[in-house]
Structure 1
Amino acid sequence: MSLARKFSTVFVLLSLYFLKTSSRHVMPYVPDVLHPPLPDNYEIFNTTDISEGDVDPEMTPGLFQGDMALTNDLYNYWRVGIKWDAFPEKLWKNGIVPYTISPLYEPSDQVTILKAIKTINFMTCIKFVPWNEKTKDYLLIWPIKYPKGCWSFVGRFGGSQIVSLQPPDRSGPNCLGSEGRAIHELMHALGVFHEQSRWDRDKFVKIHEDNIIPRFKSNFDKQSLENTTYSFEYDYDSIMHYGKNFFSKSKGKPTITPKIGSHKIGQRRAMSKSDCLKLNDLYGCLDNVKTRRKYYNICNFMGL
């Protein structure tokens, strides 16, 4: 058995143990508000012109760039991740993220979510911890029906904050075929944006505007140099990168393709080395010599 599979097996066993022990404590109630109030200028885009059979579950919510519930106060200030000096309230304090998982999920889907959580806990100094039913701000991981699909707010919004992960159904695995999509949405919740939005992306990818459904062209906007960090190189392997057919008018018409080599884009298997380093950098895990060495080694060993 490979080392990677051994790690995966350990994650599953730990997750099953967690489910067994935590099941003794029944959630006292489901919060009345399942997501923070949406701002007045917020709009859920109409996705009726996307073919339902072909659509990626990160596109179906119809939110900003598909899967991000993003307010205008953040739009002009993002980079690889939220600028904490501009929006300190969006940071999860001390890198601690309380969470609770909906009992509506099947046990196997809960295990998939827990594998995503335990992966981030292992690869970074960020710590997801079970909600103690007292902390005001926490993630509520829930299979929201509207808007359905995979989506999250970006950074700490406040209160009971939804991360929506649509479970498998007759149409396919949706957000929980593996832990990759859960990791993607959890990274949004931690404050990380999509990779192809970087200011320097045109050096690395070509955007095929003629192939994009017109109403979704703004999803491919890039950010200015002033609002972008380039501490890390452009990452085709990022779990935060669009797939080549996102928001395409039809099959066989890619909307985004690499300019260099034959890189595949849009993987949702695991964090890349760069994804891992970004998270650690955003949350100060690389600020001192001891932790920097530790997490650089983990990222290089565990990242794609």
Structure 2
Amino acid sequence: MHKSLYVLVLSCLQCCGYARFILPRVPDVVHPPVPDHDEELFDPEESPGLFEGDMALTNEFYNYWRVGIRWDIFPNKLWINGTVPYVISPLYEPSDLVTIYKAIRIINFMTCVRFVPWNGKSKDYVLIWPIKYPKGCWSFVGRFGGAQIVSLQAPDHKGPNCLGTEGRAIHELMHALGVFHEQSRWDRDKFVKIHTDNIIPRFISNFDKQSLENTTYSFEYDFDSIMHYGKYFFSKKKGKPTITPKHADVKALGQRKSMSKGDCLKLNDLYGCLKNPRTRRKYYNICNFMGL
């Protein structure tokens, strides 16, 4: 890193309060490794070898997840008091840092969840880092314990990757908070059609849905969710949709711009923001006015 850039990054870190200690070292390669693939064919959110493309999970979740992790089953996966300490890699360019900070500020403003600079002491925290292998946009789901990676691949000569806008960062940070993909809901077949013939065979399982007994939802299906797959995710061939809406008035699926109204409500509900009489009206209003 150029000295001037390093000084600028350190200044940003000091402003956020965590440059008074040594930043953690993160390996370029995260184990276990995942299968290699043709980089030209894949969106950085579709990393092969991870659950549904961009989620690092353990088997304990498969039978219990819903719109978000069931805290009654896995209370240890909840971020205590809705507070998430974080560290951002100094390897990012200043413009990429701005994009990541915007994502954090949006979540902090629209919900009662609080991402706060790591104080060097908290045992559990998020490391936002451009991991080289498996590279791409991916995250663990819920509080995993210790230093927890959120991989956000920086822009390169091929494109913006995870940081063209703050939307990709919001998507992965929501995974880290315990939120899963929208199209995996048990009731999704009422709203979307899965075109299995167009899906790369080894990724068909990424389109599995959960049974009603394992999933409960307080909100309607959200076509505009930042957590929803796009029409061509894991497609065999360009232009071949893998998932399409069944409602004629719905023209697009998913987006990576910002939280939808539904995303905002779900995240606030997951962390109890809507149960508190003092904050319920505030967050309902924010979600209604600021959600896409």
TM-score (norm 2): 0.91
What is the match of residue 13 of structure 1? none
Question: d(CA) in 1 for partners of 2:48 and 2:202?
Answer: 14
What is the match of residue 5 of structure 2? none
Question: d(CA) in 1 for partners of 2:49 and 2:42?
Answer: 11
Q: 1:281 aligns with which of 235, 245, 269?
A: 269
Runs of 4+ in structure 1 deviating by more than 6 angstroms, as ranges, are none
User: In 2, are the aligned partners of 1:44 and 1:63 still within 8 Å (CA)?
Assistant: no
Superposed CA RMSD? 2.0
Q: Does 1:26 align with 2:19?
A: yes
TM-superposed CA distance for 1:119, in Å, is: 0.2
TM-superposed CA distance for 1:75, in Å, is: 1.1
Aligned runs of 1:253-268 on 2, under 5 Å? 253-261=240-248, 262-268=250-256
Identity between Structure 1 and Structure 2 (%): 75
What is the match of residue 205 of structure 1? 192
What is the match of residue 112 of structure 2? 125
Secondary structure of the residue aligned to 2:189 is helix
Query: Which amino acid counterpart does residue 273 of structure 1 have in structure 2?
Result: K
User: In 1, are the aligned partners of 2:33 and 2:133 still within 8 Å (CA)?
Assistant: no
Question: d(CA) in 2 for partners of 1:20 and 1:240?
Answer: 29
Question: d(CA) in 1 for partners of 2:86 and 2:226?
Answer: 22
Unpaired stretches in structure 2, ≥5 consecutive residues? 1-8
* Stretch of structure 1 that moved more, 18-27 or 214-223: 18-27
Aligned pair count reads: 281
Query: Which amino acid counterpart does residue 229 of structure 1 have in structure 2?
Result: T
Q: Deviations over 1:241-271 (max 9, x none)?
A: 0011111110111100000023311310010
Distance 1:163 1:27, change over 3 A: farther
TM-score (norm 1): 0.88
Aligned runs of 1:86-125 on 2, under 5 Å? 86-125=73-112
What is the match of residue 35 of structure 2? 46
User: In 2, are the aligned partners of 1:236 and 1:263 still within 8 Å (CA)?
Assistant: no
User: In 1, are the aligned partners of 2:18 and 2:119 still within 8 Å (CA)?
Assistant: no
User: In 2, are the aligned partners of 1:61 and 1:149 still within 8 Å (CA)?
Assistant: no
Aligned runs of 1:1-304 on 2, under 5 Å? 19=12, 21-22=14-15, 26=19, 28-32=21-25, 45-48=34-37, 51-60=38-47, 62-261=49-248, 262-304=250-292
Unpaired stretches in structure 1, ≥5 consecutive residues? 1-15
